[in-house]
Structure 1
Amino acid sequence: MAVFRDFNFKLLVVEQLMYIDETLTPRFSIEDHMRARGIDDLHAYVEENDLEYQVLDEARAYFERLEIGDDLLASVKRLTFDGGNQVFMECAPVWDGEDDLFDVRSLDDLELVPNLKRFLGARSLTLTVPDAIETLRARGIETIA
């Protein structure tokens, strides 16, 4: 199984496979997960415990343990880095997108998605990976704002 070095890069792959392509199942829902633990009002729980600007431990544990097979990784042709990604909302349900919580810090995991052709939101990567555009283009990956 693939081992990701950058948790946030893995989340971009999960976004594509689980929430867009729907090929990585079951679809994770933090609300369902927390409801199973007896927490019915997720937003109140987050606010009462000052968890607004962090990945909930339950979500982090789930996505860190989540194994993604090589066949699914090979099916990834597009990644999107956008503050509105569903996977981000599952990790931090009241996150406002105004900080670097989900910034990708490394593109070392590109080798795990060998058929990647397009990267949407690539310009945002340059805040934490200055040579991101050049790295992507050198691999033949189309970069879109």
Structure 2
Amino acid sequence: MTVFRDFNFKLLVIEKLMYWDETLTPVFSLKKHMRERGIEDLDAYVEENELEYTILDEARTYFEELDIPAELLATVEELTFDGGHQVFMECAPVWDGEDDLFDVRCLDDLDLLPTLKLFTGKRELEHMLPGALEILAARGIATR
């Protein structure tokens, strides 16, 4: 099993493979997952339990336990950080993007992506992780 050190970095990889490329399946839907547990109104559930600014345990567990085969990781040539990612909405369905909930904390997981060539969202990344652009440049990974 591939182990990621930074959960939020893993989410970027999941966004690319599951929601963009559709090669990591099945596609996770928090609404469907919660309906199977008897929760029909996800937004009401989040508000009633004061979970607006957190990653729901059900999503965190699913994505933490999700194994991404090395063969799929080797297909990732580009990663993007964007506050509107589907994976973020699956984790925190009423998240407003106004905090650091999904900030990347380290780039140790770059070793898992041997063909990564481009990281889009360089301003956001540099804000989250000062010095990150130099790390990417040293690995030959372009940014925009």
What does residue 62 of structure 1 align with? 62
Q: Which runs of 5+ in 2 are unaligned?
A: none
How far apart in 2 are the matches of 1:113 and 1:35? 34
- 1:73-108 CA-partner distances (Å, limit 9, x unpaired): 000011111100000000000000000000000000
Which residue is equivalent to 2:104? 104
Which has the higher mean CA deviation after the structures are superposed, 124-133 or 49-58?
Answer: 124-133
Distance (whole Å) between structure 2 residues aligned to residue 143 and residue 50 of structure 1: 37
Match of 2:131 in 1: 131
Whether 2:16 is the aligned partner of 1:16: answer: yes
Which whole-Å CA distance do the structure 1 matches of 2:9 and 2:113 have between them?
Answer: 11
Distance 1:34 1:94 in 2: 15
Equivalents in 2 of 1:75, 1:43: separation in Å? Answer: 35
- Letter aligned with residue 25 of structure 2: T
- Name the TM-score, length of structure 2 as normaliser: 0.98
* Count of matched residue positions in the alignment of Structure 1 and Structure 2: 144
Letter of the aligned partner of 2:122 in structure 1? Answer: A
Mapped partners of 1:10, 1:63: distance in 2: 8
The whole-number CA distance in structure 2 between the counterparts of 1:77 and 1:2 is 18
Name the TM-score, length of structure 1 as normaliser: 0.97
Deviation at 1:34, TM superposition (A): 0.2
Q: Does 1:7 align with 2:10?
A: no
What stretches of structure 1 of length at least 5 have no aligned partner?
none
Within 5 Å, which residues of 2 pair with 1:66-81? Answer: 66-81=66-81
Aligned residues: percent identity? 71
CA distance in 2, matches of 1:108, 1:126: 15
- C-alpha displacement of 1:120: 0.7
Aligned to 2:98, what secondary structure does the other structure show? Answer: coil
Q: Aligned partners of 1:65 and 1:22: how far apart in 2?
A: 18
Q: Could you say what the CA RMSD is over the residues aligned between the two structures, in angstroms? A: 0.7
Q: CA deviation at 1:110?
A: 0.3
